Amino acid sequence: MPQSPLKLFKIANLKPAYPASPILSHGIHNKSSHPHFPLAPCVSWPTLVLLRVALHGMPSLLRQGTVHLRSARRLCELCCANRGTFIKVGQHLGALDYLLPEEYTSTLKVLHSQAPQSSMQDVRQVIREDLGKEIHDLFVSFDDTPLGAASLAQVHKAVLRDGRTVAVKVQHPKVQAQSSKDILLMEVLVLAVKQLFPEFEFMWLVDEAKKNLPLELDFLNEGRNAEKVAQMLKHFDFLKVPRIYWDLSTKRVLLMEFVDGGQVNDRDYMERNKIDVNEISRNLGKMYSEMIFVNGFVHCDPHPGNVLVRKRPGTGEAEIILLDHGLYQVLTEEFRLDYCHLWQSLIWTDMKRVKKYSQRLGAGDLYPLFACMLTARSWDAVNRGIGQAPVTATEDSEIRNNAANYLPQISQLLSHVPRQMLLIFKTNDLLRGIEAALGTRASASSFLNMSRCCIRALAAHKKRNTCSFFRRTQISFSETLSLWQINLHELVLRVKGLRLASWVLALLCWLLPAPH
């Protein structure tokens, strides 16, 4: 990786300077009192190193857009020069619309589908080596310009000899060899950060990269994951997972059914195609709630380049297309059930159980910070009830402006939670970024859908662990009753919304009478 030292040195030009974290004065380490968290910093493991370096330049210039833009461009150059893992981190940062300044997200979003490309010569070489034939022997046509390029591969549109239109995902030729160097470089960076900021402990980040990167580099594993999630979520008519063509797929080449659409965070595309933004957000929440709470098999890279939307041909119904299945997290049953209980407690504002299940998940005395990170809400909002009111502009501004103050405590927390939680945090980050872009963040409907999945998951677990017919019937009745209560609550919310809308309409008619 000859360019890396030079490009990495450019980090110094970002001039990081950090004030001491005021969270210590709020009693975070005082076991006898609950701390007050004015914001909810939702920062997951891939963002911590670059976020610390990039987000905060000189404090006196923090809010100046020119400083943010200059730093964002340098960060983007750094990611593109080093490719691989660095682009994956840049993709994550580019999806955090609700957390980072616009200059960063708008600059880094290019990495979602327009990362540095491999040449056609390299693409031909990979296909020749893996499939044993030249491109012209396999395809009637093969577009030289890729549909998109990401950290590990790029995708080309092609037509097979039998007339099927396919998407051909081709791994960058040097990424396999480069990945071990990336991890080594990351390890050096982590040790350097440890020297500069002794309160941070990031070695677990390197351990996670060592575990996950080989899985993402195996496209046969990706194909198996795609088929598994398609089967698992087949009851969702709104979900489309492209079919895999196994006869022309290898560890470095993956052939899929070609499916076109707009990125899930593109409101303009949805408005032009008359796709309901709220429906898409609601269905995305249903899909991920099912993965996390019910099945424990979670797609962990839902950045906007991997989630497309379209009108389904023939029916015109809105459809979500889920791509890039290389990285999944398999949750243990114990973790999944504790996580279900925790979200149920957060949704229904049962603070004793919030503390209990946060601590069961490794949060310890930092459980209020843990709850804030999960919900992306302030501690005050968590105590009032996260479904009671949407995120206010003030709360959102605090999250954006003050998140870095809590990085030492976040680092401490993330070093203690189960490793399964790290990718869940990343997934939460990316989903909230999509919701922020669509303007649907923290809707009551999304929390109710999560609660439904939690109820179903917990009831299924109880049924599996009892042999009594009477007990199973009792559990089923309790489950049905709880789901009816949620349906009733949702109906009440809709009626209130319709009533409010009718009042506003009546008021407007009274204030602005129709001309005679």
How many C-beta atoms surround the C-beta of residue 125 within 10 A?
Answer: 14
- Please say whether the beta carbons of 418 and 336 come within 8 A: no
* The token pair that represents 302 in the structure block: 């839902």
In this prediction the pTM is 0.76
* 207 included as an active-site residue: no
- Please say whether the beta carbons of 43 and 51 come within 8 A: yes
Q: Which of 182, 266, 301, 429 is catalytic?
A: 301
Whole-Å CA distances, 460 to 294, 457, 478: 9, 5, 12
Rg of the chain taking only CA atoms, in angstroms: 24
pLDDT by position in tens, the chain (length 516): 444 433 333 333 333 333 333 332 333 333 333 433 333 333 443 444 444 444 444 444 445 578 888 888 888 888 888 777 777 777 767 766 656 777 888 888 787 767 788 999 999 999 999 999 999 999 999 999 999 888 789 999 999 999 999 999 999 988 887 877 878 887 887 788 778 777 666 677 677 778 888 888 999 999 999 999 999 999 999 999 999 999 999 999 999 999 999 999 899 999 999 999 989 988 998 999 999 999 999 998 888 889 999 999 888 899 999 999 998 999 999 999 999 999 999 988 999 999 999 999 999 999 998 998 888 888 888 898 887 777 777 877 776 666 667 777 877 888 889 988 888 888 887 788 788 788 776 566 677 788 889 999 999 999 988 888 888 899 899 888 888 888 887 777 667 656 655 666 666 666 655 444
Helices (H), 11-115: 48-54, 65-82, 85-94, 102-108
Residue type, 208: E
